[in-house]
Amino acid sequence: MIVVMKPGATQQEIENVEKRLRELGFKTHTIRGEVKTVIGAIGDKRLVKEHNLSQLPGVEGIVPIMKPYKLVGRELKKQDTVVEVGDVQIGGKKLVVMAGPCAVESEEQIYEVARRVKEAGATVLRGGAYKPRTSPYSFQGMEEEGLKLLHQAARMTGLKVVTEVMDTRDVELVSRYADILQIGARNMQNFRLLKECGLSGKPVLLKRGLSATIEEWLMAAEYIADAGNQNIILCERGIRTFETATRNTMDINAIPVVKELSHLPIIADPSHGTGNWKWVDAVARAFVAAGADGLMIEVHPDPANAVSDGAQSLQPEKFARLMEALKPIAQAVGREL
């Protein structure tokens, strides 16, 4: 870390900072410029309790040099992580596609979707049993009954299950039915839930928060990893910006940036990222071309009657056509579908 002193900081103030840094276990190295003095502090900032060095007299600011994450970063682990969920690999040559309805609504609905997305080439079934809804008056999910239906539909079709867990109290229950635990965007910094999912031993799909920087997202993943679980799949699902034409703004840049900073696999959710089924195809193609490890896509047999997110759900035949369209793009970037 670099401590930048104010213009006019006194010799005593500088020495005081050096002393404090040494007390904290850093080696110091001071550079006196014409206007400002900076003090380089060598050591691992992650290992010391935070100290508010910026509050010491004469200090203008602190510039960190090391990344704040280690377990999920590339600095200490170069090779890509491949998350294995039974025979499904996430982060390998073959792209993963997770598809299904926003919410589990009924036995017929989830079986119909499971069958259709399996036929089209998906390997993981998505579907919410606990739904985070902006309004308390909206449908909140079928809860355990939904989990059971999801589990059965997946088993009958040979799919794996990913489903959201919203509450620390539900981690155990959801783990009984799910192959992958999903942490939603609104819970990305629900640190207790991150830990609990980390401790569950299940692979975790971690959606990016609506206003989370890539660094904060990786720090959230670090919570899970720090609990002993490195089977983490990142999922870009759009961030909040000033643009109102779309539900969110999909951050396509995040794919190459995350690939550089982290060894974890990353997939994309163009359904939430756009908020409109008409735009899902173009954005799904884009993410595959950019190097994403897979996609999560909402599919519903009858979007006009879906209890939630119908506007962004593809009909099964449209989903099947999209899967075909993605194949040559996957191939063009050295992947397969």
Judged by CB under 8 A, the chain residues 145 through 204 that form the site for a copy of itself are 166-169, 186-187, 189-193, 195
Q: What CA–CA distances, in Å, run from 310 to 271, 278, 282?
A: 10, 12, 18
138 — phi, psi (to 5°)? -90, 160
Joined tokens for residue 175: 């783990």
Nearest 5 degrees, angle CA 256-CA 269-CA 114?
135
- Stretch (H or E) spanning 244: none
**Binding range to a copy of itself, per CB under 8 A, among 92-100, 146-154, 156-164, 246-254:** 246-254
70 vs 152, beta carbon nearer a copy of itself = 70
88 vs 174, beta carbon nearer a copy of itself = 174
106 vs 253, beta carbon nearer a copy of itself = 253
Interacting positions 280-309 with a copy of itself (CB under 8 A): 281-283, 285-291, 303-309
User: For residues 150 and 180, is the Cβ–Cβ distance under 8 A?
Assistant: no
58 vs 118, beta carbon nearer a copy of itself = 58
154 vs 326, beta carbon nearer a copy of itself = 326
Q: What CA–CA distances, in Å, run from 294 to 41, 142, 235, 308?
A: 41, 27, 9, 23
118 vs 285, beta carbon nearer a copy of itself = 285
Tell whether residue 77 is a contact of a copy of itself (CB under 8 A). Answer: no
Q: How far is the CB of 45 from a copy of itself (least distance, A)?
A: 9
Tell whether residue 246 is a contact of a copy of itself (CB under 8 A). Answer: yes
Interacting positions 19-58 with a copy of itself (CB under 8 A): 29, 31-36, 38, 40, 42-44, 46-47, 49-56
Count, residues near a copy of itself per rule CB under 8 A: 111
Q: How far is the CB of 241 from a copy of itself (least distance, A)?
A: 5
User: For residues 239 and 211, is the Cβ–Cβ distance under 8 A?
Assistant: yes
Q: How far is the CB of 219 from a copy of itself (least distance, A)?
A: 5
Q: Within its chain, how far is the Cα of 172 from the centroid?
A: 21
**Binding range to a copy of itself, per CB under 8 A, among 81-89, 120-128, 172-180, 238-246:** 238-246
Interacting positions 317-336 with a copy of itself (CB under 8 A): 325, 328-329, 331-333
12 vs 158, beta carbon nearer a copy of itself = 12
R_g of the chain, CA atoms, integer Å: 23
Q: How far apart are CA 12 and CA 198, in angstroms?
A: 47
Question: Which amino acid, 167?
Answer: D
Interacting positions 206-225 with a copy of itself (CB under 8 A): 209-211, 213-216, 219, 222-223
88 vs 323, beta carbon nearer a copy of itself = 323
Interacting positions 111-130 with a copy of itself (CB under 8 A): none
Q: Which residues of 42-70 are buried (b: 16+ CB within 10 A; e: fewer)?
A: ebebeeeeeeebeebebbeeeeeeebebe
193 — phi, psi (to 5°)? -70, -40
Work out which of 15, 75, 172, 317 binds a copy of itself, going by CB under 8 A. Answer: 75
Tell whether residue 106 is a contact of a copy of itself (CB under 8 A). Answer: no
List CB contacts of 56: < 8 A, sequence separation 6 or more.
13, 16, 17, 20
